[in-house]
Amino acid sequence: MKESMIRGADIVVQSLIAEQAEIIFGYPGGAIMPVYDALYDYHEQIKHVLTRHEQGAIHAAQGYARVSGKVGVCLATSGPGATNLITGLADAQIDSTPLVCITGQVAAHLLGTDAFQETDVVGISMPGTKWNIQVRKVEDIAPAIAKGFYIARSGRPGPVLIDITKNAQVDFGEMNYAPCMGFRSYKTHIPVEKMAIQEAAELINKAERPYIVFGQGVVLGKAETELKFFLDKTGIPAASTLLGSGAISQDHPNYVGKLGMHGNYAPNLLTNQCDVLIAIGMRFDDRVTGDLKRYAKQAKVIHLELDPAEINKNVKADIPVLGDCKESLSLLTAAVSEKTHPSWMAKFRELEQMEKDAVMQHDITPTKVGLTMGEVINLINQYKADDAVLVTDVGQHQMIAWRYFNYKKTRTQVTSGGLGTMGFALPAALGAQLHDYSRQVICVVGDGGIQMTIQELGTIMQTKAPVKIVLLNNNYLGMVRQWQQMFFDKRYSFTELDNPDFVKIAEAYSIKAQKVTDRGDLKEAIEDMLIHDGPFFLEVVVEKEDNVFPMIATGCSVEEVRLS
């Protein structure tokens, strides 16, 4: 054995350092122990955060990746350690979050024998990863990690899983790390067709009621400035998807609101009145489109999109503009003429006023005794920093927080969009906070979701991450209850919760906690929370049976958006 040879486990850690990973979220176990042993030697070069469950580790890595734009890294053992990552992988896959997850695996000679903690994680994770691989030999470790990082962060980002057998971790090999620069079966750059730009520009210039809908592709493509220039020049009203929120400041004069099932009234309704629909970095999710047969049928559709598989998947594009939207948006901005659309814009503002009168007023300044989720978020807006990150779970609180949070900066929106994973918020907020201790990270969560990953309060305690946790407690699985009320004759089947004393739980983890039940105490509590130096747990008891409106019920068209 040559002196330059090192253990496979050291190669794993050195490869992560070579990829400039700063932080690993993980949980040890038998088949990954050699890597954990190696980590002991590198704690000055790379940080490891021990979560309380592997699902917590992967959601934390997602939160970290979403706010930083970097690849989130996750480490777990074989068998149950690996299977506990699956929800996070599926979540990252559908929300295009770059991750590299490394799992330990039983020794190669035991593969396929039902060895202790053996599971076919490559098989199980296949539909939920952008790419995965099993490494059985020490010499294959570094190339697999290099390729994994390249795949995770390039093109349309996504999660990668690398399963490394124990023998490969303990064997000795050479460390010659070469970053991956690309390979023949995987094209990351699609040149934008000049012809498509020209056709799109002509259509936009002739349009009387053009309308922009943008999604997370703008953030992933780092095209926020390009989008702003495009809006500035064209004067076209623009609405964001759930994950696109924050790509431009909500203060932008062209910004008209949010799209989708619980989005704003005008952006949904007027989708069916525009003559040209310009979709940028979004995939026409069913929660955005409602009934596809009645979605924007009157409009010519221009679709700026990086992933060819998204073109014509849900909505037929008259002019597909394939490629990186950073590139296509600047080309398009140069090709269109300067314009304003005052009367068309006025229509949005008119409907916005209707929504304010019919919905927002009740939500933000309620007249009844019970607290509303909307007034909590509205108060947070008054005290939060401009670049505060909002991390939400899934359900009513998620929709309300999204609706009322005032997004001013990019990468301030962290939520489980496509998969709708309850339990996402608490660990994701931890991950987002660990990227930058000085940034305000506000985790808004419901009483259902928080109990799916509440053990991560332990990780918050141990890392002292100053996450501000706002629990909106209505003692119900609120979104399901709302559907039961509206569509299942108020048969509240298994949606009411007997909850524990959350403040005591938080305090047991040495986290400062407060419970608010009266409107009069809310303002001060939020102020106290946001200036507190350290993690803070604020439970707000809200109205039990409030509903989220506007709403496009399943199977309805965007123009059937309801205000009540």
**Binding stretches for other proteins (CB under 8 A):** 122-123, 126-127, 130-132, 134, 151, 184-186, 307-309, 311-313
C-alpha 248/C-alpha 255 separation (Å) is 8
Q: Which is nearer to other proteins, 205 or 312 (CB)?
A: 312
With a CB cutoff of 8 Å and minimum separation 6, the contacts of 84 are 53, 54, 55, 58, 76
Q: Which is nearer to other proteins, 131 or 424 (CB)?
A: 131
Least Å distance, CB 271 to other proteins, is 23
Q: Which is nearer to other proteins, 270 or 279 (CB)?
A: 279
Q: Which is nearer to other proteins, 30 or 308 (CB)?
A: 308
DSSP string, 415-430: ---SS--TT-HHHHHH
Closest CA to 401 of 425, 436, 437: 425
Least Å distance, CB 397 to other proteins, is 31
Least Å distance, CB 162 to other proteins, is 13
224 is known as an active-site residue:
no
Q: Which is nearer to other proteins, 129 or 463 (CB)?
A: 129
Q: Which is nearer to other proteins, 151 or 243 (CB)?
A: 151
Closest CA to 392 of 351, 420, 363: 420
- On whether the CB atoms of residues 294 and 559 are closer than 8 A, the answer is yes
Q: Detail the DSSP E strand segments found in 42-179.
A: 47-50, 72-76, 99-105, 131-135, 159-165, 172-173
Catalytic-role residue among 20, 45, 116, 356 = 116
Q: Quick one: the chain helix, strand, coil %, rounded to 5?
A: 40, 20, 40
**What's the distance, CA 289 to chain centroid?**
19
Least Å distance, CB 393 to other proteins, is 27
Q: Which is nearer to other proteins, 122 or 556 (CB)?
A: 122
With a CB cutoff of 8 Å and minimum separation 6, the contacts of 491 are 484
Strands 300-305 and 319-322, how do they pair?
Answer: parallel
- Given strand 131-135, what is the order of strands in its sheet? 47-50, 23-26, 72-76, 99-105, 159-165, 131-135
**Secondary structure class of 44 (helix, strand, coil):** coil
166 is known as an active-site residue:
yes
Backbone φ and ψ for 343, nearest 5 degrees, come out as: -75, -35
Closest CA to 144 of 171, 175, 180, 111: 180
Catalytic-role residue among 33, 47, 117, 559 = 117
Catalytic-role residue among 261, 360, 452, 479 = 479
Tokens 């909850």 sit at which residue?
499
Least Å distance, CB 106 to other proteins, is 17
Q: Which is nearer to other proteins, 128 or 448 (CB)?
A: 128
Least Å distance, CB 17 to other proteins, is 24
C-alpha 281/C-alpha 307 separation (Å) is 9
440 is known as an active-site residue:
no
Closest CA to 279 of 291, 267, 293, 269: 267
Please state the length of the chain: 564
Partner residues linked to 557 by β-bridges:
290
479 is known as an active-site residue:
yes
- Residue 55, sorted as left (phi over 0), alpha (psi -120 to 50) or beta, turns out to be alpha
C-alpha 65/C-alpha 160 separation (Å) is 13
Least Å distance, CB 130 to other proteins, is 7
**Secondary structure class of 373 (helix, strand, coil):** helix
The CA R_g of the chain, rounded to the nearest whole Å, is: 24
375 is known as an active-site residue:
no
Least Å distance, CB 355 to other proteins, is 36
Catalytic-role residue among 130, 166, 326, 468 = 166
How many CB atoms are closer than 10 A to CB 213?
A: 26
Catalytic-role residue among 19, 54, 327, 456 = 54
Cα 518 to Cα 468, 523, 541, distances in angstroms = 20, 10, 8
Q: Which is nearer to other proteins, 187 or 490 (CB)?
A: 187
How many CB atoms are closer than 10 A to CB 385?
A: 14
Q: Which is nearer to other proteins, 246 or 323 (CB)?
A: 323
Q: Which is nearer to other proteins, 66 or 147 (CB)?
A: 147
Least Å distance, CB 120 to other proteins, is 10
Active site residues: 54, 116-117, 166, 479
